[in-house]
């Protein structure tokens, strides 16, 4: 066994400036694509009840000015929000227009509380789709805010076996308002941002909100929301730094989801990320669960087609091919899958292809003397090919552990690699920071797999003959 500590990776901001914390970087330097000569104007549409539209707009107007950090001794963890203004922070402004506001009648929303959860969710989605259809005809809108119904009786999700989320015995999942609405709205030309009332109204007690969401202070809520809006409007808040002497790399996440009818087939998803953080969504074909290890696997032909399609889509989006591809997969690799991925790499004349398996669980845990868990960046190499990395843990620059539960490590296995395990782990650590919905350093999974799984929750509602939107902004 070998224990290693990996330092926190830097992110790149305007002018090539670097900082390890997204909030410090935005405040001190501005977003990576900032142009001091041009101000980013984000034109916002809003759909929801009249009262929620009014409350959300008032809070967003308040966020134009700086918001104080939470009163705490953890001054390096709780940071003030600089204000969403043209002269500071994101160097951008939100623009509202009454033509882009689509109120939903309060009595229509009240009726939802009288219906069974699945019926209520479906009817709520239909109410919002009616307004989104009208809104889509209006020009001059970059992103649409969805003020979620206050008391939508959504049933809690059924428990999932994280080791085998594709298991046939898993109970049928309930309808999910966010996923279903985003799937149905895929035909529209603007990405959606679903917002709960608790985001802008601290006095509102949301019975469906989890504990972590309720604990966020106002400045943190403002940071997370405005980062997401900036990205969905086409901006690049931050990117991964790149050594000019290093190969141009892209990262592909492959996960699996069950179709909405709970059929026996599973469909693979690939999420292609480059070092700028640009994501491209690919939907793969059906797969089978192996009788040997009870995991979903692709045939050699399907593996080759999936990676080939990913590289074609990457080239179409970026007008160039990467020299190196790192593939993160949630199930182990069969010989057929390795051969298929290698064949696609050979056909594309890739210089380097590296294959990693990221299991969902790891029985090994590390313990640290004192009151805090292991440091984020702690890596344990159990064997030459089996490793675990603490992507959630105590953060030295914060002086605390930012989570609320005892963190578990992120396991990864090197299957076919050329880089050192430490270099691959450092990339995994950096990729946990490419989540535009989160600005604090407490993400566990790399954006490749987080996105592939998130996308699967939406794609399950989209028919096979409908091509999904290629931009990640439509899914997050």
Among candidate residues 85, 191, 95, the one with its CA nearest the CA of residue 135: 191
What is the residue-averaged pLDDT of the chain? Answer: 89
Distance CA 347, CA 172 (A): 41
pLDDT digits (tens, 9 = 90+) for 35-71: 765 778 999 999 999 999 999 999 999 999 999 999 9
pLDDT digits (tens, 9 = 90+) for 134-191: 999 998 899 999 999 998 876 544 444 444 444 444 444 457 899 999 999 999 989 9
What's the whole-number mean pLDDT along residues 204-227? 78
Residue 207 confidence (pLDDT): 62
CA separation, residue 183 to residues 92, 97, 180, 273, 337 (Å): 29, 26, 5, 21, 29
Which neighbouring-strand residues pair with 142?
Answer: none
Residue 288 confidence (pLDDT): 84
Q: Please report where in the chains the tokens 């509202």 appear, as a residue.
A: 96
Distance CA 69, CA 212 (A): 17
pLDDT at 350 over 70: yes
pLDDT band of 259, cuts 50, 70, 90:
confident
Tell which phi-psi region holds residue 277, choosing left (phi > 0), alpha (psi between -120 and 50) or beta. Answer: left
Ranges 258-272, 331-345, 368-382, 383-397: which has the least confidence: 258-272
Residue 167 confidence (pLDDT): 46
- Backbone φ, ψ for residue 380 (5° rounding): -115, 120
Among candidate residues 87, 80, 89, the one with its CA nearest the CA of residue 27: 89
DSSP designation for 22: H
Structure token digits, residue 251: 């990262």
pLDDT band of 18, cuts 50, 70, 90:
very high
Residue 168 confidence (pLDDT): 40
Residue 172 confidence (pLDDT): 43
């Amino acid at each position: 066994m070998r224990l290693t500590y990996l330092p926190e990776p830097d992110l790149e901001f305007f002018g090539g400036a670097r900082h390890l914390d997204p909030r410090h970087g935005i405040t001190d330097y501005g977003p990576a694509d900032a142009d001091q000569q041009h101000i980013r104007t984000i034109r916002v549409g809003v759909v929801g009840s009249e009262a929620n539209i009014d409350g959300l707009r008032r809070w967003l107007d308040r966020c134009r000015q700086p918001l104080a950090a939470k009163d705490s001794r953890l001054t390096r963890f709780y940071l003030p929000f600089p204000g969403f203004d043209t002269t500071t922070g994101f160097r951008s402004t939100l623009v509202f227009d009454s033509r882009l506001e689509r109120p939903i009648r309060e009595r229509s929303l009240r009726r939802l509380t009288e219906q069974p959860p699945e019926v209520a969710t479906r009817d709520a989605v239909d109410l919002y789709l009616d307004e989104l259809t009208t809104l889509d005809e209006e020009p001059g809108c970059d992103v649409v805010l969805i003020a979620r119904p206050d008391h939508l009786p959504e049933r809690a999700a059924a428990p999932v076996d994280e080791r085998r989320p594709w298991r046939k015995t898993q109970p049928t999942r309930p309808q999910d308002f966010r996923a279903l609405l985003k799937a149905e709205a895929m035909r529209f030309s603007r990405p959606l941002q679903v917002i709960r009332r608790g985001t802008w109204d601290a006095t509102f007690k949301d019975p469906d909100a989890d504990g972590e969401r309720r604990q966020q202070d106002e400045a943190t809520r403002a940071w997370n929301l405005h980062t997401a809006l900036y990205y969905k409007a086409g901006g690049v808040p931050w990117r991964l730094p790149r050594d000019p002497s290093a190969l141009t790399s892209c990262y592909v996440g492959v996960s699996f989801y069950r179709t909405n009818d709970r059929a026996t087939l599973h469909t693979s998803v690939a999420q292609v990320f480059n070092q700028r953080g640009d994501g491209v969504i690919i939907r793969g074909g059906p797969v089978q669960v192996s009788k040997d290890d009870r995991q979903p696997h692709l045939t050699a032909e399907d593996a080759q087609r999936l990676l080939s399609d990913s590289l074609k889509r990457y080239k179409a989006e970026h007008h160039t091919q990467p020299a190196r591809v790192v593939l993160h997969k949630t199930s182990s690799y069969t010989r057929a899958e390795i051969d298929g991925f290698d064949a696609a790499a050979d056909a594309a004349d890739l210089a380097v292809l590296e294959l990693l398996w990221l299991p969902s669980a790891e029985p090994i845990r590390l313990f640290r003397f004192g009151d805090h868990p292991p440091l984020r960046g702690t890596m344990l190499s159990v064997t030459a090919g089996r490793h675990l990395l603490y992507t959630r843990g105590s953060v030295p620059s914060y002086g605390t552990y930012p989570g609320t539960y005892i963190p578990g490590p992120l396991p990864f296995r090197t299957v076919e690699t050329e880089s050192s395990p430490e270099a691959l782990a450092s990339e995994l650590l950096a990729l946990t920071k490419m989540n535009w919905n989160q600005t604090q350093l407490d993400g566990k999974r790399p954006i490749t797999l987080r996105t592939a799984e998130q996308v699967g929750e939406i794609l399950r509602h989209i028919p096979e003959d409908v091509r999904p939107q290629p931009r990640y902004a439509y899914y997050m």
